[in-house]
Structure 1
Amino acid sequence: MNGRSGVREVRRVLRGHGRRIASAAALALAGSALALAQPLLVKRVIEEAGAGAGTGGTLALLIGLFVAQAAVAAVARYVLARTGEGIVLDLRLNLVDRLLRLPMRTYDRHRVGDLISRAGADSTALRLLISEGFTDAVTGSIGLAGVVALMVWLDPALFLVVLAVIALGSLAVASVLRGIERASLHAQRATGAMTAELERALGAIRTVRASRAERREAQRIGAEARTAYAQSVRVGALDAVVAPSVMLTINGSFLLVLLVGGMRVADGSGSVAELAAFLLYMLYLMGPVAAVFQALSTMRQGLGALRRINEILDLPAEPDAEPPHAEPRPAKEPSAPPDVPVLEFRDVWFAYEPGRPVLRGLSFAVPPRGHVALIGSSGVGKSTVFALAERFYDPDAGRVLFEGRDLRTVERDVHRSRIGLVEQHAPVLYGTLRENLLYAAPDAGPDELDRAIDLAHLTELVARLPRGLDTEAGEHGAALSGGERQRIAIARSLLTRPRLLLLDEPTAHLDTVSEVALRRSIRRVSRECALLVIAHRYSTIRAADHVVVLDGGRVAATGTHDELLATSDHYRFLTRAQQSREASSLRPS
């Protein structure tokens, strides 16, 4: 990132905060003006003392300016710091919002741990850039401008001496700052990779323990940690050069001014009062110059984090506004005619990667009521059908219709409010059982909640939990069994009263008794809405009103269970293979 692009990135972050920054800058300017007036008063005191005049009034004014300057400077720095924290907060909120709204393809390409790192570690590093680097840059620049103006007014020749020395020091520091930015970016990337590796290991901690892979995972994560350490040490080493270089530059220029100015006083071409004032400004110059150089170093360190954050902010979010070609949304959504399928795929083609289609002209329909089973071997596109039905992706060709309307003409949020989704792994979020159940319908009343609990056969579970619905589910639902998590996910979806409920093998984690109860629930729910179920178990397939068989990304056969047994060789092969697997799993070892 070059200097010009870095300035653009910082300006982008500061956009919308101009009024607060201007107020803080005005306070900083007032504090600098009060500070810069003090050497002039010292010059006046010396001149009054030399002339034998009284100095009491000037000394009192000098003390007053000193106290006022300290108070104003403190307020200015507080306002700047608060403004900086506000900027960082806005950026973090925007980043979190964008991370939650990225298209599914973006999540497919990025590691979750790295995305989390950008919201955590990178935004923390960015805080230094804004709240410290920016603060020092503003206050230092204002003070520097005032000191330079007064030094030029007092003695242009001596100022040229100072300028020459500072220019030489600046050239040396500039190369160091470029190295700081590069090392900081590498450190942030390594930190993101470390977080991603840790998230990977902790997300499968039981598998890690069972595989005795703790040492290997620690070495894997440690390698990234050591890379981040090495780059951070490099940043620290380069940053350590900045402050001594600045002090050496200022002290060198101070000695030169003292030497040249003293010689001029000695030969009568200059006055002691003017030299004293100029030397005081030299002392005042140390603060602003050091602040500006340190701010540049801090900002260079933060630019790496800012770049990584802007990489996410620049990614397009999943559209959540009404598309330009969308049909106007009526005040009340009309019900579709009873003969219109709730979901229909028409010659749909879709690929996650170009040239490797998963769906190849898929066409089938789901009626407004009833239970449809979607079956097929692994990789034929069953989960992709669910992803397109939820509009996590749009088809590459063909159309997906919901109640007769092309999904691309319907706002995503509106469409998803009509569909329930139960994933095979049934994620349960950290929090109470009640919070998990109400996650998709936070305004649902007690009667609706009781109805969903009854339909999903959770009544017994709630009754035996120590705190009922207010029992903590644990991280990833660790306090619950697989079957319990599955039923919680079903109840959560039922609370929204969906027109279509998508179930990804709902009986995969249930025992025989729970499976029978759930099949009764599914039958009851199918009278209220449509059910599309990815089915593997023979009992789930046989219970469906209609079966859609997928093979090679296309529909191989459709019909009832009995019809397909009579007409489809592929269906008979799939059901016999599944029956054989189920029988093997029940056979004692």
Structure 2
Amino acid sequence: MKKTLSLSAPEERGQAWRVLRRVIAENGRAHLRGYAVAVVCLVLVALSTAFLAWIMRDVIDQIFVAGNRAVLFSLPVAVFLSFLVRGFATYGQGVILARIGNDVVARYQRRLFEHLTSLSVGYFNRTRSAQLAARINQNVSGVRDTLNLTVTSIARDLLTLIFLVFAMIWQDWVLSLIALTAGPPIAIMIARLSRKLRKATRQSVDLNARVLGAMQETVQGIHVVKAFTMEAGLQDRTETLIRAAEERSNRIATITERSGPVTETVAGLAVAAVIAWSGYRAIVYGTSPGAMFAFITALLLAYDPARRLARLQVQLERALVNAQMIYEILDETPEQADRSGTVPLRVANGEVRFEDVRFGYHPGEPVLRGLSFTAPAGRTTALVGASGGGKTTVLALLERFYDPEAGRILIDGQDIAGVQQSSLRRQISYVPQHPTLFEGTIRDNIRFGRPEASDAEVEDAARRAQAEEFILAAPLGYDTPVGENGLTLSGGQRQRLSIARALLRDAPILVLDEATSALDSRSEALVQRALDEAMRERTVIVVAHRLSTVRHAEQILVVDRGRIAEHGSHDELMARPGGLYARLNAMRPDTVEDDEAQEARARVS
């Protein structure tokens, strides 16, 4: 978890500079050639702008005062060429920086996705997915903006200002001193605004992420929202967030635009003083009007880059806050990262053993309290018990979604903490309680089980999962899009596709977490028959509340408060009067049915 600390102004400035250096270090070398060409274009823009101010002296003195016909063609052509160069240079730098910026955004999107998929399940349990997605979407452009602002400000605005100031000094150093008195007051004012803006920007990003997260969650749960008439309550809650986000955005606008009146006032006083002084000298001392016009032209042309540079720190602060929030995600360390020296898991038989495993999701709240058992290779082991006893946690630890606090988990005698995670998960087929489908077609979703599988293997897995009937009835068969998270399919159909995915994986260990809980009576009977076939010659660990689905397991483990309370076959456990398993059966007698009853029910359906 990240700690939120109140930083002093020097610490915040140091943090901002560290982010800026990191952005440049990570992206500068990859785009060095593009930035070099863009900088050349920006230098041409700066030079052509300064040239326009410089040439105005000759335009006024030679054409309008001296009436020199010899320059009547050359000077206008020179002005036209300077505009032409500036136009093409502006176009070139705009296109190049846009392409570099788009590439930077794409690179960070790839990095974020790759990094997010490497993070542990615990991170996503702590972080709301809707807010995480909204935050990424809002912040990922911060790196691009940081780079582009830095390049354009230095190569265009700073150089333009330097060239124009040089032209001003060349024309009249006294007037230049008068004009430059506007700089210090504006710099002091901008420095005071930056710290306020940094805090307001971070608050605004967080609030906007919460607003987008609330909207996304409402859309995803729209059936529940309407079923429980939650519209008014959610609207009130979201309205509060929207008002807070609006208030933060208004504060950012106020802080950002606060520099405008001060900048305009100070700059206006400087320009007015220049005009008054130069006019006085022209009237009293007969100073050349060309020099005065050239100076005022340079001063007015310098105003825009000076104003942009004055606002640079404000804009850069906002971009750096966004970039920093992206790095906070990228700097998250995977909790279940492979240790050094890990080796691939090699499964010969598939025996799974838990040895005195202890684990809790939160400190001081244990879920497993010294749990030990062995799931024999090639046999079915069922975990049953009351909700909250730790059954699903066993599966999560076996997949290494979490690491135990104490004890070991072994597969064929190999401690899974010392093997490569990818090799571990390739040896396990997993069917979750709540099926998850992804954007794409039915065929795509089944093939996730084994990407290199052929179409024939995909279709065979679907047949064994009793899914082919509804697949062929779909408009495009196996090529039918499933929609967002499979919303175009029923719960039972989604679960059968999830089972087909697991069957296609063909791993030696099969893990079933309430695999038939989402199925109707007919689908449950059909899928159970398919699972019975898939279980042959595999190590199967199944979690179930419906005891009818596990009564034929070779070993049934009754999990109670993080320990194995009872173990044995169905008949052995039922023969223990007053035992926990027998009591569970007594509490849910309707869940215990034999295969014949299930098949009869399927025929009736």
Structure 1 unaligned runs (5+)?
none
* Conservation of the 8 A alpha-carbon contact between 2:547 and 2:591: no
* Conservation of the 8 A alpha-carbon contact between 1:349 and 1:359: yes
Whole-Å Cα distance in 2 between the matches of residues 277 and 162 of structure 1? 14
**Residue of structure 1 aligned with 2:124, choices 107, 110, 125:** 107
* Conservation of the 8 A alpha-carbon contact between 1:374 and 1:548: yes
Q: CA offsets, 1:406-456, max 9 Å, x none?
A: 222222122211111111111233432222211232321123113211221
Match runs of 1:137-216 below 5 Å: 138-216=155-233
Whole-Å Cα distance in 2 between the matches of residues 456 and 375 of structure 1? 24
1:573 alignment partner in structure 2 = 583
**Residue of structure 2 aligned with 1:324, choices 337, 340, 349:** 340
1:384 alignment partner in structure 2 = 393
Match runs of 1:42-81 below 5 Å: 42-46=56-60, 48=62, 54-56=70-72, 57-81=74-98
Is structure 2 residue 507 aligned with structure 1 residue 493?
no
Task: After superposing the two structures, state which structure 1 stretch, 182-191 or 304-313, moved more.
Answer: 304-313
1:4 alignment partner in structure 2 = 14
Q: CA offsets, 1:271-328, max 9 Å, x none?
A: 54443332222022112112223443333333443333222122124666x531213x
Percent of aligned positions with the same letter in both sequences?
Answer: 29
Whole-Å Cα distance in 1 between the matches of residues 550 and 163 of structure 2? 82
Whole-Å Cα distance in 2 between the matches of residues 12 and 31 of structure 1? 28
How far 1:267 sits from its partner (Å)? Answer: 5.1
**Residue of structure 2 aligned with 1:228, choices 234, 240, 245:** 245
* Conservation of the 8 A alpha-carbon contact between 2:546 and 2:591: no
* Conservation of the 8 A alpha-carbon contact between 2:142 and 2:322: yes
Is structure 2 residue 31 aligned with structure 1 residue 21?
no
Counterpart amino acid of residue 409 in structure 2? V
How far 1:374 sits from its partner (Å)? Answer: 0.9
Counterpart amino acid of residue 34 in structure 1? S
Whole-Å Cα distance in 2 between the matches of residues 512 and 44 of structure 1? 94
2:301 alignment partner in structure 1 = 284
Change beyond 3 A, Cα 1:520–1:84: closer
Change beyond 3 A, Cα 1:189–1:171: same
Task: After superposing the two structures, state which structure 1 stretch, 283-292 or 69-78, moved more.
Answer: 69-78
Whole-Å Cα distance in 1 between the matches of residues 209 and 419 of structure 2? 37
Q: Secondary structure at the match of 2:140?
A: helix
Q: CA offsets, 1:374-421, max 9 Å, x none?
A: 112111111111111111111111112223222222221222111111
Q: Secondary structure at the match of 1:543?
A: coil
Whole-Å Cα distance in 2 between the matches of residues 198 and 39 of structure 1? 53
How far 1:206 sits from its partner (Å)? Answer: 1.6
Change beyond 3 A, Cα 1:363–1:287: same
Q: Secondary structure at the match of 2:78?
A: helix
Change beyond 3 A, Cα 1:117–1:210: same
Q: Secondary structure at the match of 1:495?
A: helix
How far 1:192 sits from its partner (Å)? Answer: 1.0
Is structure 2 residue 350 aligned with structure 1 residue 355?
no
Whole-Å Cα distance in 2 between the matches of residues 437 and 556 of structure 1? 37
Is structure 2 residue 52 aligned with structure 1 residue 38?
yes
Change beyond 3 A, Cα 1:481–1:235: same
Whole-Å Cα distance in 2 between the matches of residues 291 and 80 of structure 1? 18
* Conservation of the 8 A alpha-carbon contact between 1:184 and 1:302: no
Task: After superposing the two structures, state which structure 1 stretch, 512-521 or 182-191, moved more.
Answer: 512-521
Is structure 2 residue 548 aligned with structure 1 residue 534?
no
TM-score (norm 2): 0.87
Q: Secondary structure at the match of 2:462?
A: helix
How far 1:154 sits from its partner (Å)? Answer: 4.2
Change beyond 3 A, Cα 1:278–1:396: same
Whole-Å Cα distance in 2 between the matches of residues 416 and 335 of structure 1? 12
Match runs of 1:463-474 below 5 Å: 463-474=472-483
Counterpart amino acid of residue 339 in structure 2? P
* Conservation of the 8 A alpha-carbon contact between 1:183 and 1:234: yes
* Conservation of the 8 A alpha-carbon contact between 1:85 and 1:130: no
How far 1:51 sits from its partner (Å)? Answer: 7.0
Structure 2 unaligned runs (5+)?
1-6, 599-605
2:384 alignment partner in structure 1 = 375
* Conservation of the 8 A alpha-carbon contact between 1:96 and 1:119: no
Whole-Å Cα distance in 1 between the matches of residues 155 and 411 of structure 2? 56
Change beyond 3 A, Cα 1:77–1:89: same
Change beyond 3 A, Cα 1:319–1:532: closer
Tell me how large the CA RMSD over aligned residues is: 2.8
How far 1:270 sits from its partner (Å)? Answer: 5.9
Counterpart amino acid of residue 236 in structure 1? A
Change beyond 3 A, Cα 1:495–1:45: same
Match runs of 1:391-410 below 5 Å: 391-410=400-419
Q: CA offsets, 1:122-143, max 9 Å, x none?
A: 3357765555686456521222
Counterpart amino acid of residue 39 in structure 1? A
1:123 alignment partner in structure 2 = 140
How far 1:75 sits from its partner (Å)? Answer: 1.6
Change beyond 3 A, Cα 1:110–1:379: same
Match runs of 1:430-579 below 5 Å: 430-567=439-576, 569-579=579-589
Q: Secondary structure at the match of 2:534?
A: helix
When the two structures are aligned, how many residues end up with a matched partner?
576
Whole-Å Cα distance in 2 between the matches of residues 392 and 156 of structure 1? 71
2:103 alignment partner in structure 1 = 86
Counterpart amino acid of residue 11 in structure 1? R
Whole-Å Cα distance in 2 between the matches of residues 324 and 422 of structure 1? 30
Counterpart amino acid of residue 35 in structure 2? I
* Conservation of the 8 A alpha-carbon contact between 1:374 and 1:533: yes
Counterpart amino acid of residue 346 in structure 1? E
Is structure 2 residue 267 aligned with structure 1 residue 250?
yes
* Conservation of the 8 A alpha-carbon contact between 1:375 and 1:547: yes
* Conservation of the 8 A alpha-carbon contact between 2:464 and 2:530: yes
Whole-Å Cα distance in 2 between the matches of residues 425 and 451 of structure 1? 23
Counterpart amino acid of residue 385 in structure 1? V
Change beyond 3 A, Cα 1:491–1:178: same
1:217 alignment partner in structure 2 = 234
Change beyond 3 A, Cα 1:59–1:486: closer
Q: Secondary structure at the match of 1:345?
A: strand
Q: Secondary structure at the match of 1:533?
A: strand
* Conservation of the 8 A alpha-carbon contact between 2:356 and 2:406: yes
How far 1:46 sits from its partner (Å)? Answer: 4.9
How far 1:256 sits from its partner (Å)? Answer: 1.4
Whole-Å Cα distance in 1 between the matches of residues 322 and 277 of structure 2? 45
Task: After superposing the two structures, state which structure 1 stretch, 522-531 or 36-45, moved more.
Answer: 36-45
Whole-Å Cα distance in 1 between the matches of residues 393 and 162 of structure 2? 62
